[in-house]
């Protein structure tokens, strides 16, 4: 079962462009909505992973097993 505290960076995900500059990518996995938020880099991490609208993890480098 997919959990909000799962290590999302180990899961193969295929992201779709949204056209929204603040949330440029989204996908679905196991019934959960995942989004990427673009932050105020370099003052903050470049991206934040959101699961069901909840902030899960900030990161700068796109995981190699995630496809855009």
Q: 49 lies in a domain? A: yes
Q: 60 lies in a domain? A: yes
Find the domain containing 59 and state its range: 8-67
Q: Quick check: 14 pLDDT over 60?
A: yes
Q: What does the alpha-carbon distance between residue 19 and residue 49 come to, in Å, rounded to a whole number? A: 17
Provide mean pLDDT across the span 12-27.
98
Residue 47 CB neighbour total at 10 angstroms = 19
Provide mean pLDDT across the span 39-61.
95
Q: 1 lies in a domain? A: no
Provide mean pLDDT across the span 15-30.
96
Q: Which pTM value belongs to this model? A: 0.88
Domain count, the chain: 1
Q: Quick check: 1 pLDDT over 50?
A: no
């Amino acid at each position: 079962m997919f959990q909000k505290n799962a290590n999302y960076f180990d899961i193969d995900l295929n992201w779709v462009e949204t056209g929204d500059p603040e949330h440029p990518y989204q996908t679905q996995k196991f019934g959960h909505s995942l989004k990427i938020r673009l932050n105020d880099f370099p003052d903050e991490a470049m991206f934040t992973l959101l699961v069901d609208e909840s902030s899960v993890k900030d990161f700068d480098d796109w995981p190699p097993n995630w496809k855009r």
